[in-house]
Structure 1
Amino acid sequence: MSLEIKKRKAVRAEPRIRWWKLNEDEYSRKFREEVSQVLGEKIEEDRWETISEVVRQKAKKVLGVTSGRRKEDKETWWWNEEVQESISKKKRAKMKWDRQMDEVTDKVTLFRSVADFQQLHEVAGKGGHITIIGGGFLGSELACALGYKTKSTKGSVTQVYPEYGNMAKVLPEYLSRWTTDKVKSEGVDIITHSTVKDVTTTPDGKLKLSFDTGKEVGFIYTFSLVYTL
């Protein structure tokens, strides 16, 4: 879908008599003189159509008429083709961004409830590829549960976090490394020292995660976790 900005069409208006000039004494006096010279003393005898026509003709002569062109906004001088093209590009880029964000949002879940787990468990049971962002207690527990589930399917689970090991923020290093090995034994692929930099969609509908390390991984679903440990 393309969005093109149409050029404004010039609106041709009917020329109008500048009646407002009658507020000026000079024009008001001259107008009365012109009308009086034509009508004279016959003003009571003439038909109104004749009188009004005389008034209009003399008004055009004395006061003048407008050009009939659309009055240009003083601030539209900059609305040239270059500006229109620039705005058009930005609108197309915005539409593309919104479309991509809709596609990404449909595949990202903020893990909070039992319903979220049930949805995720179903994806794992169908052989889905899932990535879990976060290495705290909740993320590690979820990774183990889903990793175990995918052992009987063709799915896979990856856990990503910036620390050196699972629950490294709260556990001693030796215990964190033991926990990491335990999670790996359940079939979970762990990516340490990494933070998600960008999320995009691939032509086949998968999510592609780009990390600050330069690595890229594709998944069907991504679950971003809220955890306290």
Structure 2
Amino acid sequence: VAVAVAVLGAGFANQTTVKADSDNINRSVSVKDNEKELHNKIADLEEERGEHLDKIDELKEELKAKEKSSENVERHYLRKLDQEYKEQQERQKNLEELERQSQREVEKRYQEQLQKQQQLETEKQISEASRKSLSRDLEASRAAKKDLEAEHQKLKEEKQISDASRQGLSRDLEASREAKKKVEADLAEANSKLQALEKLNKELEEGKKLSEKEKAELQAKLEAEAKALKE
């Protein structure tokens, strides 16, 4: 509007100048032509002003559209930033959780490894103690085996001595039995001789009543029997 007024003012000024010049140069130009020209210029200016206004409105609409688009872009960008921030927060949270989980897993594995190590140490100590115990048991078994072998040898020797003694005793028993039989036979013979002597003695007692011839015969018989007894 200001531009149009300025242009209109300038037009009026120019028209005045032209009119003055026309009056000075050529008095034949009529006022009507000047007015018509002025109206034409005003119409042109009005048209130009309308175009400018339309252009201004278009520019305003464009500006509003751009502002709206800018607001939409800004809102979209803000929403995107917010979404990305939330996603980043979620990722950070997940990473922290994974880190904690990983830390727990590492700690768990460390504890398990430590427990296995301690168990291996315990088993090693038990195995070492068991090995020493087995070594002592083996040594004791070897000593016991030697003792048993010595005892067996001793028993074997004693058995041999016992067998020899038994054989000797068997021979002695057999000899004793034979001696007993001989003694019994000798005893029986002695008893027989004793009975014979007792008989002779009885006969001698009775012989006192015999004649000299009978006494002599009896004496010879007794001497013969006594000689037989001595043998």
With the length of structure 2 as denominator, give the TM-score of the two structures.
0.20
Select the structure with the greater relative contact order (CA < 8 A; seq sep ≥ 6). Answer: 1
With the length of structure 1 as denominator, give the TM-score of the two structures.
0.20
Q: Which protein is richer in helix relative to its size?
A: 2
Q: Which protein is richer in strand relative to its size?
A: 1
